[in-house]
Amino acid sequence: MVRRYDILVIGGGAAGFTAAITAKILYRDSKVLMVTKTDKSPIVCALPYAIAGNRPLDDYLMPYSYASSLGVEILVDEVVDIDTEERVARTRGGEEIRFDNLVIATGSRPEAYMAEGVDLKGVYVLGKEYREVAELREAVNRDGVRVVLVGSGLTTAELADALSGIPGLTDHVKRYVTIVSRRKYILSRYFDEEFAELAERELEAKGVTIYSNTRVKRIHGHGRVEEVELDNGEVVKADVVVIVPTWVPNTELASRAGLEIRGRGIVVNDYMRTSKPYIYAAGDCVEKRDFLTSDQRDIKLATLACEEARRAISAIKGVTLSAGRMGRIPVTVTRVGGVVMGAAGYIESHALNEGISYIVGKARAVNRHPAWLPGGCEIQVKLLFLEDGRLIGGQAAGRCNEVAEIVNSIALAIQGSLRVEDLIIGLQHGSHPLLTYSPVMHPLINAAVEAYLKMKN
Amino acid sequence: MVRRYDILVIGGGAAGFTAAITAKILYRDSKVLMVTKTDKSPIVCALPYAIAGNRPLDDYLMPYSYASSLGVEILVDEVVDIDTEERVARTRGGEEIRFDNLVIATGSRPEAYMAEGVDLKGVYVLGKEYREVAELREAVNRDGVRVVLVGSGLTTAELADALSGIPGLTDHVKRYVTIVSRRKYILSRYFDEEFAELAERELEAKGVTIYSNTRVKRIHGHGRVEEVELDNGEVVKADVVVIVPTWVPNTELASRAGLEIRGRGIVVNDYMRTSKPYIYAAGDCVEKRDFLTSDQRDIKLATLACEEARRAISAIKGVTLSAGRMGRIPVTVTRVGGVVMGAAGYIESHALNEGISYIVGKARAVNRHPAWLPGGCEIQVKLLFLEDGRLIGGQAAGRCNEVAEIVNSIALAIQGSLRVEDLIIGLQHGSHPLLTYSPVMHPLINAAVEAYLKMKN
C-alpha cells in the first residue's frame, strides 16, 4: 500500500519535530508524517546535562509523544530516495510515501579533527544519537574520572561546567576536567574577550584546567586512552577524551534528489523553499545567511532551526512576514558556573572579519533600584553599532537568569533596525524596584549613549 | 548676581533628575542647573518598600549625589515664575536664573477621594514627599498595627504586599492589612481579570483582606481613626488608613508662563517641545497620548518620564527618532507576593473602552527544557492583536523575575509593529535548557499561533 500525506517531514530533530507539530497545529485536518531514524532522540541543547546528569538519559529526550498527541504520525525509518517530480519518498524499510509537501530536516553530522590515537578505547567524538550519548554518559559517570575535552565552543564550555558539577543536576560523582582549545579563549566564536574570560574564570573556579592556543598532538594508551599529548609538550592524564566536533549539514539525500546545494547547505529562499516546488528544507541542513551582509554564514542554533521549520510549514499556505522582518539574528545564551551570558547579532571579531566598521558602547547596572535591594545582580552590556547608528549586536552577562531575556530584548531591537538614537530616547521598557534596573540608569540606554558620544566626537 | 545656564531643569523627580544627568552626559561642557524643592526625594516607584521597610528611609532616596558628581548644579528652591520671552526663571528664594533651554518637570500631585472623617489622626493621603513618607512610615511600623488601604492600583497592591511582609525587606513587624477597592479587581486598570486575580490570590494568601466593588462611606474615631465604615455596611477596625490618591499634573507654573495646556497636561510635541521655543516639558506634568489612537491617555510611569526627559534633552541638539519609533508603549511590571506580572500596551478592557476590535492568543510554558530541569517557572502569556494582525498588547505572569524582561520583549515587539505572522515565523530569540523555554514551545509564538488560527477560521 502506498501511503499519502499532505505534509511529510524527514527528520526528528528540533527542525523536523517543530515542522511536524506546527503542521498539525496550523492545518488541523492535514495528514502529517514525521520520519525519524530513531524514536529516542536526545534534546541536543541539553546534551551536556544529559551526559553529566544524575537523572536517566530518557529524561532528556525530544517529546515525540506530544507530537503523537497532536495527531502527527511517526515512522521510525530512513528516507533514502526522493522523487521530486512524482513527489514520492522511499525508505530503507521499503515504504513508499506520497506527499503534497515535503520538509527536509536532515540536520547535521559531526566532523572532528582526528589526532593520532583517536581509535583508542575511551576516546569519543561527541554525537547526538541516543546510543552514542548513552555510551559517553556511562564513561564519564564514574567517581574520580579524568575527562579531557577537545573543543572551544558552547558545548565544550557547557560540558565542562556540567562535568565539574552543577548542584542537584550533575554533581553525583566527582570528575577532573581539562579543556584543550585551539583558540585564545573558549567561546571566542560567540563572545568578545571580556565576556569569554568570564566563562573561563567560572570554569577555573570550579577546578577545570584550560589549555588555550593548544592542539592535541597525540593520544596515548595501550588499547585504552591513558594520556593526551599537547602540541606545547605537556601531557595530560585522561580516562576519557571527548572530541567536540564541528557540525556539517547532512545534504546527501537532498543532493541525490537534485536539489540545489551551495557551500555545504541546501539552498532555500526566505521562506525555506528549495529549488523544487513543494519541497522545503529547515534546520542545520540548509545554508544560512548573515542578517546584515546576506553572505553565507555557519550558524547552527536550535532557535533558528525551529524558526525555519515554522517558516517552511507556514509557507505552504503562503504566510509571509512584514517588510524588513526577514533577517534572522543569531542569538546565543548560556550559563557557565554562576554566570549567565548571551550574545545577539554581531560581536567585534565577527565584524572585523567581515570588514564592517562599528562603534561600541558599554554599560553596567544592578537590576534593582535602589541597587542594594535584595536579589540584585550586576549586568554588563556591550552594544555594537554601525557608523550610521544602526544596532547590529549586543552582549550581556551577569549572575542571574534575567540576562537571557535581556539578550532576547537586544535581539528584537536589532531585528527592529533600531538606531542609537532610538535606544537613547525610544527604548520601550518597564521597570520595578524589586525586578529591574532604574529607568534612570538603564544599561542598554547608557551603552547607546556611550556609543553615540563616540560617533559625534 | 544673575545666574546663567545652558540648561535649566525644574523638578527633581524621575523626569527632572534624568533630564539633568542626561544633559551633562550628552553635553559635557554645558552648564546645567536642577532646581528641586527638596534635597531628599524618595524614589516614587519604591515608596511601598520605603514605607514598610526595615531599613532607613534615607536608603530609598533619589541619588542626587550622582548628579552632582557629573557636574549638575543643584538648587533647593522653587521656581515661581518663568519669563519665556526673556528666558528667565525666578525662585521663591529670590534667585533670578537665565537659561538657554528649559525643561519643566514639575510632576504630579495627589488628588484623593475625601470621605467624611479623613481629618482624623491616623488617616493619610499617600504623598511622595520625604516628610509625608516619613510620617506614614512611622505610623505603620508598629507591631500589630491594623492598616486599611483605600485604592485599586499598583501602589495599593504593592503597599499591601510590602506591609504584609516581604522576607528580609519589610517583615520586621507584624501588620494586619485590608484593601478597600472600588473596582471589581485590584489592578484592573493594568491587567485583565485572570492576571489581576493572581495578585489578589497572592495577597489573600499573605493574610490581606480585600473588599472589592466597595467604597469607604465614613471614617470613625475620637480624634484618632478607630473604624472604617464601608458602603456595604461592613465596619473594619483600623489604626491607620492610607488613601492612595490619583495623581494629577502640576501645571500651574507652566500655565502662568503662558504655555499651552490641554486636558490636564502641558502640550508637547513628540520631542517634548512645548508651545514656546527653547522650553520643553517631561514627566507626569505633560499630556500623554496613546501609541495606537494618539488620543489623550492618563498614563503615569517612571519609565515614560525618564524617556521623555531624554527626548527633551536630546531635542536641544536635534536628535531624532527613526521612522515609526514615535509611539511610547506603557509597560507595567510588578511583583505581588511570589508572582511577577507585567503588561505592555493594550489590555482587553482598554481596547473595549476605545472600541478597538482585537483577537486574543494565550499560551503557557515552563522556562526550562526539559521542563523538569531545576529552577523552572511556568509563565503564562496573553497577547492582543488587531484584526489585521498587528500586535497591540501583551501580559505575562509567573513566579520568577524573568517575567519582567519577557514583558520588555513584548514591548519591543509592539514598538516594532510586529504582526502575528512575524511572531510565528520571525520572532528573534535565544534559548538554553537551564534558562528559557524550548524554542519548540515558546509561549509568545504559541500565543500568536492561537490568535492566528482564530483570525483565519
DSSP A260-299: -EETTEE---TT-B-SSTTEEE-STTB--B-TTT--B---
- For residue A315, the chain B residue with the least C-alpha distance is B425
Residues B397 and B340: beta-carbon distance below 8 Å: yes
**Residue B295 confidence (pLDDT):** 87
How distant is the Cα of B1 from the closest Cα of chain A, in angstroms? Answer: 33
Beginning with the edge strand found earlier in the chain, give each strand of the sheet holding B235-237 in spatial order.
Answer: B216-222, B224-230, B235-237
Chain B touched by A306 (CB under 8 Å): yes
Residues B450 and B359: beta-carbon distance below 8 Å: no
Whether the pLDDT of residue B4 is over 90: the answer is: yes
Candidates B317, B385, B405, partner chain A, best to mutate (most A CBs within 10 A): B405
Q: What one-letter code names the amino acid at B78?
A: E
Residues of B in contact with A388 (CB under 8 A): none
CB contact under 8 A, A430 and B333: yes
B338-456: in CATH 3.50.50.60: yes
Residues of A in contact with B449 (CB under 8 A): 22, 25-26
Whether the pLDDT of residue A376 is over 80: the answer is: yes
CB contact under 8 A, B425 and A319: yes
Three-state secondary structure readout of A396-451: EEECCCHHHHHHHHHHHHHHCCCEHHHHHHHCCCCCCCCCCCCHHHCHHHHHHHHH
CB contact under 8 A, B430 and A439: no
Chain A touched by B434 (CB under 8 Å): yes
Closest CA to B34 of B85, B59, B2, B70: B70
Whether the pLDDT of residue A327 is over 80: the answer is: no
Q: Give the β-pairing of A339-345 and A331-336.
A: antiparallel
CA distance B445 to A26: 12
Across chain B, mean pLDDT equals 95
SS3 B16: helix
Residues A271 and A312: beta-carbon distance below 8 Å: yes
CB contact under 8 A, B430 and A321: no
Q: Give the β-pairing of A209-211 and A175-180.
A: parallel
Q: Is B119 exposed, middle or buried (0-12, 13-18, 19+ CB in 10 A)?
A: exposed
pLDDT band, residue A294 (cuts 50/70/90): confident
Three-state secondary structure readout of B93-156: CCCEEEEEEEEECCCEEEECCCCECCCCECEEECCCCHHHHHHHHHHHCCCCEEEEEECCCHHH
C-alpha grid cell for residue B334? 510588578
Candidates B9, B373, B434, B455, partner chain A, best to mutate (most A CBs within 10 A): B434
Chain B touched by A34 (CB under 8 Å): no
Choose the closest CB to B335 out of A372, A422, A432: A432
Phi then psi for residue A311, to 5 deg, are -60, -45
Closest CA to B203 of B227, B218, B186, B228: B186
**Residue B59 confidence (pLDDT):** 97
Interface of A with B in 130-169 (CB under 8 A): 168-169
Q: Which residue has the higher pLDDT, A2 or B291?
A: B291
**Residue B44 confidence (pLDDT):** 95
Whether the pLDDT of residue A350 is over 70: the answer is: yes
Chain A touched by B299 (CB under 8 Å): no
Beta carbons within 8 Å of A69's beta carbon, 6+ residues apart = none
* Count of alpha carbons within 13 angstroms of residue A27, beta-carbon side: 19
CB contact under 8 A, A17 and B440: yes
pLDDT band, residue B152 (cuts 50/70/90): very high
Domain B113-244: give its CATH code.
3.50.50.60
Residues of A in contact with B307 (CB under 8 A): 425-427, 439
CB contact under 8 A, A412 and B428: yes
Its ipTM equals 0.94
Residues A358 and A348: beta-carbon distance below 8 Å: yes
Residue keyed to cell 579533527: A113
Mark out the alpha helices in B224-272 (DSSP H runs): 252-256
For residue B336, what are the β-bridge partners?
Answer: B339
pLDDT band, residue A323 (cuts 50/70/90): confident
Maximum alpha-carbon separation in chain A: 74
Chain B touched by A425 (CB under 8 Å): yes
Choose the closest CB to A333 out of B370, B411, B432: B432
Helix H or strand E encompassing B350: helix B348-353
How distant is the Cα of B454 from the closest Cα of chain A, in angstroms? Answer: 11
Choose the closest CB to A402 out of B319, B405, B440: B405
Whether the pLDDT of residue A136 is over 90: the answer is: yes
Choose the closest CB to A425 out of B310, B422, B431: B310
Say what the alpha-carbon torsion angle B253, B254, B256, B262 is, to the nearest 10 degrees. -130
Beta carbons within 8 Å of A124's beta carbon, 6+ residues apart = A132, A135, A136, A139, A240, A241, A242, A243
Residues of A in contact with B413 (CB under 8 A): 412
C-alpha grid cell for residue B173? 513587624
Whether the pLDDT of residue A31 is over 70: the answer is: yes
Beginning with the edge strand found earlier in the chain, give each strand of the sheet holding B240-243 in spatial order.
Answer: B123-125, B240-243, B145-150, B175-180, B209-211
Choose the closest CB to A440 out of B306, B419, B424: B306
Q: How far is the CA of B178 from the CAs of B158, B202, B211, B336, in angstroms?
A: 13, 14, 8, 15
Choose the closest CB to A425 out of B319, B372, B431: B319
Helix H or strand E encompassing B433: none
CA distance B360 to B348: 9
Chain B touched by A21 (CB under 8 Å): yes
Choose the closest CB to A440 out of B14, B331, B411: B14
Closest CA to B33 of B108, B91, B109, B107: B91
**Residue A1 confidence (pLDDT):** 62
- For residue B343, the chain A residue with the least C-alpha distance is A430
Chain A touched by B432 (CB under 8 Å): yes
Interface of A with B in 51-70 (CB under 8 A): 59-60, 63
Closest CA to B175 of B203, B141, B205: B141
pLDDT digits (tens, 9 = 90+) for B165-217: 999 999 999 999 999 999 999 999 999 999 999 999 999 999 999 999 999 99
Phi-psi region of B117 (alpha: psi -120 to 50; beta: other; left: phi over 0): left
Choose the closest CB to B325 out of A405, A426, A442: A426
CB contact under 8 A, A421 and B453: no
CB contact under 8 A, A404 and B307: no
Whether the pLDDT of residue A113 is over 80: the answer is: no
**Residue B63 confidence (pLDDT):** 95
Q: Which fold has domain A3-37+77-108+248-315?
A: FAD/NAD(P)-binding domain (3.50.50)
Q: What is the end-to-end Cα distance of chain A in Å, rounded? A: 74
Chain B touched by A311 (CB under 8 Å): yes
In order, the DSSP letters of A144-186 are TEEEEEE--SHHHHHHHHHHT--TTTT-SS-EEEEEE-SSSST
Whether the pLDDT of residue A27 is over 80: the answer is: yes
CB contact under 8 A, A335 and B21: no
CA distance A4 to A99: 6
C-alpha grid cell for residue A223? 588499547
How distant is the Cα of A308 from the closest Cα of chain B, in angstroms? Answer: 7
Long-range CB contact pairs, B132-141, < 8 A, 24+: B133/B42, B133/B47, B133/B50, B133/B51, B133/B57, B134/B57, B136/B51, B136/B240, B136/B242, B137/B50, B137/B51, B137/B52, B137/B53, B137/B57, B139/B239, B139/B240, B140/B51, B140/B52, B140/B175, B140/B240, B140/B242, B141/B52, B141/B172, B141/B173
Across chain A, mean pLDDT equals 95
Residues A232 and A211: beta-carbon distance below 8 Å: yes
How distant is the Cα of A229 from the closest Cα of chain B, in angstroms? Answer: 33
Cβ-Cβ pairs closer than 8 A, A with B, add up to: 262
CB contact under 8 A, A424 and B319: yes
* Every domain range in chain B assigned CATH 3.50.50.60: 3-37+77-108+248-315, 113-244, 338-456
C-alpha grid cell for residue A108? 547535521
CA distance B426 to B108: 41
pLDDT digits (tens, 9 = 90+) for B382-424: 999 999 999 999 999 999 999 999 999 999 999 888 999 999 9
Local structure of residue A321 (DSSP, 8 states): P
